Chains A and B, each alone.
Chain A
Amino acid sequence: DAGVIQSPRHEVTEMGQEVTLRCKPISGHDYLFWYRQTMMRGLELLIYFNNNVPIDDSGMPEDRFSAKMPNASFSTLKIQPSEPRDSAVYFCASSSLLGQPQHFGDGTRLSIL
């Protein structure tokens, strides 16, 4: 039973470059969440989708961040242009129903130099 799959696991890039993070949720899950985890701020919700539609993007820090979900099995989080303060671990999670437990991927560790 495949869990949430994220790629890449690690990304190191220079400031100003475009970064694309990818996520494949668990099949049949209608909700997809993107989180960012840092030591200073903990785990922050960036955006979530329901049935591929963005519902709440109030956590997206700036216009440099964008997320899409073109179909039920794929989502991307894009940062353009990237900055050193974007360095963090980015998690994708999915769930089947309102308020139900979320299943997390193993994250993408992003370092912006």
Chain B
Amino acid sequence: AQSVTQPDIHITVSEGASLELRCNYSYGATPYLFWYVQSPGQGLQLLLKYFSGDTLVQGIKGFEAEFKRSQSSFNLRKPSVHWSDAAEYFCAVVPANDYKLSFGAGTTVTVRA
């Protein structure tokens, strides 16, 4: 079955430390891939997206993600987190032959001082 998985429900990281959030997908063909961030009670903000081309994607707020076809992964990274990065992060995919966006379960990021 087609799915998108975020293995980590909750990650706590110290301010200034690096952050990596995992995302794996299971689709026949490489889908379009997205990372969104959601602050409490807010809508979703697009951090970055991958459609094709360079597998290392730069996004907003200092985030980047790397698409690895061999691992069916699209992990999100940030070299040095800020307290304002505390939020819920969602990986999302759209199959190449579809238009519906499917979300992973989300990862809650807590930043400690």
Do A and B come from the same complex?
no
